Copies of this chain bind each other. A is one copy, B any other.
């Protein structure tokens, strides 16, 4: 691999001149520039980004901290982040934290040592200071964070309200909510949205807990249908959970959506692949990822952010696990 010195020698100029040509900075005569350009192409020279990083203390890399890329919510997000990053010349380092405080700390240290330029966080077991002390731009995606950190999330509360109202409009009278983990902001908001609507309208309801796995959702659903056979609608806090409910409901021969309506949340591709396809409160996942990446890169490049907190709209994807009210 040729270095800038080789190029300088070949073009009979100093390394400073080569650097000026590369970075289009400072005065360079036309002649010198041509020589340098020719040298670069003759030698197939590529500037070494590590050396650049060392001087500039930046790396053209961003970190994406997610709980687990195997969770179907995240691949699309990761894809969006990566697409945007690529167009701006950044590469993305992916970090599966499993919501484990030690793994997070380990990544943070490794990334900091690599002069990572910024972080997109969909996970934060560590206290926020740990992140802010890094002194690099951050974006919180789908999570609550300190108000110094720009956030991107969808209107979880509102989406949950819409979902619940829709179930009620379609005639359901005893609605179960399968909620997500506590202290996870989106899960809490969805729960509040549900609760507010059922209480306002005086609808019978029940809330059960569930983590993000389908196995757990199925267990929970089994218990639910056994204890409350008259439940006639389920609003699940995620599509994975909804899929679990659907599977269980079908196994005990409930007619969907006649006996039981199901509505999920997230809008992951899985929902469409199932039969019946799951009605869901879809978040624009790709858009959220892309937006986060753009917000992060804007900060990295010292541009001012006009808005610091984005709440994107959710839309109900009307599919086959709910009755139409029209």
Q: Is A275 on the interface with B (CB-CB < 8 A)?
A: yes
Closest residue on chain B to residue A76 by CB atoms: B70
Closest to A54 in B: B50
Q: Which residues from B are CB-within-8-Å of A269?
A: 70, 214
B114 & A91 in contact (Cβ 8 Å cutoff)? yes
Given contacts A86-B106, A273-B247, contact A59 B50 (CB under 8 A): yes
- Do A79 and B70 touch (CB < 8 A)? yes
Expressed in whole angstroms, the Cα–Cα distance for A274 and B277 within the complex equals: 10
Nearest-Cβ distance from residue A157 to partner chain B, whole angstroms:
28
Structural contact, A50 and B273, CB atoms closer than 8 A:
no
Protomer copies = 2
| Residues 266-300 (chain A) with a chain B CB within 8 angstroms | 269-270, 273-275
Asked whether B250 lies within 8 Å of A46 as measured between CB atoms, the reply is no
Are A273 and B214 in contact, with the CB atoms below 8 A?
yes
Given A243-B273, A273-B247, A274-B273, CB of A91 within 8 Å of CB of B110 = yes
Beta-carbon contact of A103 and B86 below 8 Å: yes
Rounded to whole Å, the gap between the CB of A310 and the closest CB of chain B is 22
- Asked whether A147 is an interface residue with its Cβ less than 8 Å from the other chain, the reply is no
- A243-266 contacts to B, CB under 8 A, are 243, 246-247, 250-251
Q: Is the CB of B53 within 8 A of A82?
A: no
Taking CB atoms and an 8 Å cut-off, the chain A residues in 201-221 that contact chain B are 214
A33-41, A92-100, A148-156, A301-309 - the one binding chain B: A92-100
Q: Find A79's partner among B50, B83, B96 (CB 8 Å cutoff).
A: B96
Q: Select which of B59, B82, B243, B275 is within 8 A of A69 by beta carbon.
A: B82
Residue numbers in B under 8 Å from A23 (CB-CB): none
Interface string of A38-64 (1 = CB under 8 A from B): 000000001111110110000111000
- Interface presence of A68 (CB below 8 A): yes
Please determine whether B59 and A78 come into contact, CB atoms closer than 8 angstroms: no
Residue of B whose beta carbon sits closest to that of A78 = B69
Q: Which residues in B have their C-beta under 8 angstroms from that of A83?
A: 96
| A49 (CB) vs chain B CBs: closest residue | B113
Q: Which residue of B lies closest to A272 (CB)?
A: B214
Q: Does A72 contact B (CB under 8 A)?
A: yes
Q: Which of B46, B48, B74, B247 contacts A275 (CB 8 A)?
A: B247
Q: CA–CA, A268 to B79, complex, Å?
A: 19
* Given A96-B82, A273-B274, A275-B247, A113:B69 Cβ within 8 A: no
How far apart are the CA atoms of A250 and B96 in the complex, in Å? 37
A311 at the interface (CB under 8 A from B): no
User: Is A112 part of the contact surface with B, judged by Cβ < 8 Å?
Assistant: yes
Task: Pick the 10 closest A-B CB pairs, nearest first.
Answer: A49-B113, A69-B75, A50-B53, A94-B94, A70-B75, A75-B75, A70-B79, A50-B54, A250-B275, A243-B273
- Please name 23 pairs of A and B residues whose Cβ atoms are closer than 8 Å in the assembled complex, sorted by A: A47-B113, A48-B115, A49-B110, A49-B113, A50-B50, A50-B53, A50-B59, A54-B54, A60-B110, A69-B75, A69-B82, A70-B75, A70-B76, A70-B269, A72-B75, A83-B96, A86-B106, A91-B93, A91-B114, A246-B275, A250-B275, A251-B275, A274-B274
